[in-house]
Amino acid sequence: MKLALKLTCLLAALSVTAQTAMAAGLFSLTGEWRGVGAIVTEPGAPGREGRCRLTATPLVAGREMRLKGRCATDRGSADLSMRFVLHEGGVLAAAVASSARGGEAVQFIGRLEGGVARLSSRAPIEQGGIRGTSRFSLTLRDGDHFRLRQWLEPVDGGAPLDMVEMEFARAQ
């Protein structure tokens, strides 16, 4: 009985430690970041070379942070704001707003697992006449690099459409 109790306590402690370590990566991002990659301005169109400048700001240590900045292609630019909140059990909520969508915030829900945040829009969105679930992932490469990918999964069962593929590095 005592051994089972000790094992239960140890597993609970390891679970809390693992969750804290997972959150530490994403929620420890701070400062200025520069990204380069592809941005699709309309579903089905080819990706255009894009660049982003983001500022990462912790709001509540280990639980809440914001990425805010601007992204641009040769077709124009847009302001971007992403706010992440970590809930118990690794559940991750986010709100993403862009001037390209009129500043409307899209609500996301997902999970933080290791160095990867995976999120899906809570409700379908419409992008270029296609209605679907917006999904994105933010993958931490190390303390100075992360990858951001967004795609749209049409509700009609069509093939997923890539929207953003960016590699970010801490600004020097």
The percentage of residues in the chain with a pLDDT greater than 90, rounded to a whole number, is 69
Q: Which region holds residue 112: left if phi is over 0, alpha if psi is between -120 and 50, else beta?
A: beta
Q: How many domains does the chain have?
A: 1
Give residue-wise pLDDT tens across range 76-125: 999 999 999 999 988 999 999 998 888 789 999 999 988 899 999 999 99
> Which CATH number is 72's domain given?
2.40.128.20
Q: State residue 107's pLDDT score.
A: 97
Joined together, the tokens standing for residue 114 give 């290791």
What's the pTM value of the predicted model, to 2 decimals?
0.82
Element containing residue 55 per DSSP (H, E): strand 48-60
- Which pLDDT does position 23 carry in this prediction? 45
- For residue 14, pLDDT over 60 is answered with no
Domain extent for 22: 2-170
For residues 50-73, average pLDDT: 95
